[in-house]
Amino acid sequence: MSWVRTEMALAEPAPAGERGAYAWVRKNLVGSAGDVILTILGIAIVAWILPQVINWAFINAQWTGPDRTVCTTAAQGGIQPEGWTGACWAFVNAKFGQFMFGTYPVEERWRPILVAILFVALLVPMLIPRVPRKGLNAILLFVALPIVAFFLLLGGVFGLPVVETSRWGGLLVTLSLSFVGIAVSLPLGIMLALGRRSKMPIIKWLCIVFIETVRGIPLITVLFFASVMLPLFLPAGVTFDKYLRALIGVSLFAAAYMAEVVRGGLQAIPKGQYEGADSLGLGYWQKMSLIVLPQALKLVIPGIVNTFIGMFKDTSLVLIISMFDLLGVVKQNFADANWATPQTAKSGLIFAAFVFWLFCFGMSRYSMYTERRLDTGYKR
Amino acid sequence: MASQEILREEPSRGSFINDPRIRGLFFQTLVVILLFSSIWWIVHNVIENLQRLHIASGFQFLNSRAGFDISDTPIAYTSDATYGRALVVGLLNTIIVAVVGIVLATIIGFTVGIGRLSHNWLIRKICTVYVEIFRNIPPLLVIFFWYSGVLAVLPPPRESYHLPFGSFLNQRGFYFPRAVWGDGSWLIGAAFVLALAMAWFVARRARQRQMSTGQQFPVFWTSFGLIIGLPLLAFLLAGMPLTLDFPKQSTFNLTGGFWVKPEFLSLLLALSFYTAAFIAEIVRAGIRGVSKGQTEAAAALGLRSGPVLRLVVVPQAMRIVIPPLTSQYLNLTKNSSLAIAIGYPDLTATAGTVLNQTGQAVEGVFIMMIAYLVLSLVTSAVMNVVNARMALVER
């Protein structure tokens, strides 16, 4: 005599003690004695920091105002009560144009804005996987846009007045430096990585020496090199734009790091792929561009984006060779006597930090998304 | 027979243009010619430019008088000292900030990294927020934040914050008591060295005994007792030759004690907070890289959670952690060159001043590059030794 159940039993709901807010709190906050201590510690940290931050950044903050009086206490010559501390967003508000464009002439600022609009219009379809015609899009973004932007920003053609690069500044410099740096360093890095794995000893050793030297020294030294040594390297009378020198320094630096990332990808491709390409009769460049690189680059997308993020952050160092990127302009404006308050530096820096953070965080999130999307073969 | 002969025959290559060896030779010759001609061109230009600017090349300038002051000097230095000595001071400052920064960043990074894997939701989130904030802003901005945002707006010396242990914090920096060692304090040092040697010996014997008999010996507590106890005993025997020099508040400034300048403090805090965010991610990846089966197997063998971590998880995680950790240490050392932005006299800052005063751009940049390359190589060498000790020993 036996009884066999014919239909599957329905899943029972989890026991009451394992469900709901109570179980969640028990599991995640007060699981053991140590956990309770940690939770109390955590609450203490949050309770100590968060109200201060909110008070400073929002509740006590001054959003608009003509000059330093709105951000200083009565004793310091302002209108605020004694003991007041809060963010001086009025400073950021007043200097916003400078933070974005530096000393780019106000009546010409439509030009960088137009470039920014073009950039966004080309970048957004590039980033959405479903939009077709990626090839055309890439050519427009990485070839046509830099040329258009160059003439539009610098001027001197079509009746546009010339704006020297010494007048560029702020986010304009940060973004243009890092965009060109990205567009130059990726192909250069790929070439260096291929060179490092080349069978020709001289090319291989040249690449190794270049990569290891650049990776061993700080970016500031590279920038010093670019700003002090390059003029010495050229014949007398030939001068180089300072912006261009910084661009060369940043691109060379990023290319060396990029080369190591790409090399990691190249090494991860099984030998059979190289041999398969050889047996099909493909030449070196066909083998690399059709078989090896598409697989290798896909593997190292996180590394490539990390290098981009690193480079984006590193563009802030150009202020050391007295160029004014976003951070440089913010720092330059601390010296403005009209806005000299104890809160100015903190407010300006936190605004700059927020802008940098937004771009870097966006890039890292997009790379995580791409990684998941392209994750077709290697993970089970 | 016939088939073998066919195989031995030189395959027809068509034209020699398609021979990879000849192509390789051709391209390499081309590269060498291009390289040497551009080097010749650059050297030619440099010599011409230097002659035009009346700058003598060579390293003789290192022996001439520097004539500028340096605010932080670990070794004796005045403006009458030579350029060479100024550069050495800069190099020492770089090493000091790098070493202290590495220690601090490692402590914060490991704490936050382990925190990100905590069972506790709140701790996990706090650590995530920390990592996501500091990873995504430039280190230079963090330095400025500490320097002009936090330390510069502290109260003046007269209204200094009083901190525990007689230390003070104000806009001129951080002051804490300095230990002044009296007579007979060499005894304490000797006792410390002796304790270290004894602890090493105990650990060795305990290991041998465990290997042969299986009996364990409380190595950690014995060494702890030795290293703390022996110097303490020596301290008492020598008649407590230690006095503390407390910083004292006078009208305009603080006197006495040990003074940490705000430049050093903000550089140190910024570098270690920034690098710690990356180290935390490395530590997290390392611990997660140890498969769960290892922990479960260790638990099945009857190990408690402490020994599971110490004997099974951490040694395996360290193998994953050390190589990227090395490159973070190198990054921190290289990022210490950002000191120039706030005027802490590290190698880059002093070399920059020397370079501006003498106009010896080629030599100055060359010295900088060599110094950082050597620092990088030394750090990598040390970490490679550590890595070799940690690496999997295979039969």
Domain annotation covers residue A157: no
Beta carbons of A331 and B121 less than 8 Å apart: no
Instruction: Tell me the residue range of the domain where A256 lies.
Output: 92-104+163-335+342-374
> Across all residues in chain B, what is the average pLDDT?
83
Q: Take residue B333 and report the two structure tokens written for it.
A: 């050392």
Burial degree of A158 (CB within 10 A; 0-12, 13-18, 19+):
exposed
Beta carbons of B119 and A35 less than 8 Å apart: yes
Beta carbons of A203 and B27 less than 8 Å apart: yes
Domain annotation covers residue A363: yes
Beta carbons of A202 and B31 less than 8 Å apart: yes
Res A132: pLDDT:
83
Give B221's Cβ-side CA count (13 Å radius): 3
Q: pLDDT grade, residue B251 (50/70/90)?
A: low
Binding-face residues of B in 312-371 toward A, CB within 8 A: 330, 334-335, 337-338, 340-341, 348, 352, 355, 361-362, 364-365, 368-369
Least confidently predicted of A139-153, B163-177, B278-292:
B163-177
Q: pLDDT grade, residue B394 (50/70/90)?
A: low
Domain annotation covers residue A228: yes
Say how many domains are in chain A. Answer: 1
Residue type, A40: I
**Contact by Cβ (8 Å): A221, A314:** no
Q: Take residue B32 and report the two structure tokens written for it.
A: 């060498």
- Considering only alpha carbons, which residue of chain A is nearest residue B55? A232
Q: pLDDT grade, residue A379 (50/70/90)?
A: very low
Domain annotation covers residue A156: no
What is the CA angle A327-A332-A338, rounded to 5? 130
Residue A197 pLDDT exceeds 70: yes
Q: Which of B45, B147, B18 is nearest to A236 (CA)?
A: B45
Q: At what angle do helices B121-135 and A33-54 cross, to 10 degrees?
A: 40
Q: Which of B40, B37, B61 is nearest to B361 (CA)?
A: B61
Q: Which of B281, B372, B360, B368 is nearest to B56 (CA)?
A: B360
Q: How many CB atoms lie within 10 A of CB B30?
A: 10
Q: Which of A41, A45, A44, A39 is nearest to A26 (CA)?
A: A39
Res A277: pLDDT:
92
Res A375: pLDDT:
66
Least confidently predicted of A82-86, B6-10, B148-152:
B6-10
Q: pLDDT grade, residue A380 (50/70/90)?
A: very low
Residue B140 pLDDT exceeds 70: yes
pLDDT tens per residue, range B41-63? 888 888 888 787 777 777 777 77
Residue B375 pLDDT exceeds 50: yes
pLDDT tens per residue, range B64-109? 777 777 777 777 777 777 888 888 888 999 999 999 999 999 999 9
The residue-averaged pLDDT of B200-221 equals 85
| Phi and psi torsions of B25, nearest 5° | -60, -45
> Across all residues in chain A, what is the average pLDDT?
84
Domain annotation covers residue A75: no
Q: pLDDT grade, residue B132 (50/70/90)?
A: very high
Residue A191 pLDDT exceeds 90: yes
Report the CATH number at residue A253.
Answer: 1.10.3720.10
Residue B187 pLDDT exceeds 90: no
Least confidently predicted of A242-256, A312-326, B40-54:
B40-54
Q: Take residue A90 and report the two structure tokens written for it.
A: 């009025």
Q: How many CB atoms lie within 10 A of CB A130?
A: 5
The SS3 of residue A233 is helix
Structure letter (DSSP) for residue A234? S
Res A135: pLDDT:
81
| Residue B299 vs residues A285, A360, B319: alpha-carbon distances, Å | 54, 41, 21
pLDDT tens per residue, range A35-55? 888 889 989 989 998 988 888
pLDDT tens per residue, range B59-72? 777 777 777 777 77
Res B150: pLDDT:
80
Res B1: pLDDT:
45
Report the percent of chain B where pLDDT is more than 70: 94
Residue B335 to chain A, least CA–CA distance (Å) = 7
Residues of A with CB below 8 A from B144's CB? Answer: 327, 331, 345, 349
Question: By 3-state DSSP, what share of chain A in percent is helix, strand and coil, each rounded to 5?
Answer: 75, 0, 25
- What was the ipTM of the complex prediction? 0.85
Residue A233 to chain B, least CA–CA distance (Å) = 5
**Contact by Cβ (8 Å): B357, B280:** no
Res A133: pLDDT:
82
Res B9: pLDDT:
54
Res B119: pLDDT:
82
Domain annotation covers residue A301: yes
Res A84: pLDDT:
79
Res B271: pLDDT:
93
Q: Which of B193, B184, B196, B194 is nearest to B242 (CA)?
A: B184
Domain annotation covers residue A277: yes
Residues of B with CB below 8 A from A236's CB? Answer: 45, 48-49, 52
Q: What is the DSSP string of A166-183?
A: GGB-HHHHHHHHHHHHHH
- Considering only alpha carbons, which residue of chain A is nearest residue B376? A216
Domain annotation covers residue A32: no
Distance of CA B101 to the CA centre of its chain: 6
Separation between Cα atoms, residue A93 and residue A67, nearest integer Å: 11
Residue B131 pLDDT exceeds 90: yes
Separation between Cα atoms, residue B193 and residue A29, nearest integer Å: 45
- In this structure, what is the dihedral angle of CA atoms B118, B124, B127, B131, given to the nearest 10 degrees? 100
Beta carbons of B338 and A233 less than 8 Å apart: no
Res B272: pLDDT:
93
The SS3 of residue B65 is strand
- H/E run at residue A88: none
Among A39, A221, A315, A361, most B C-beta atoms within 10 A, so best to mutate, is A221
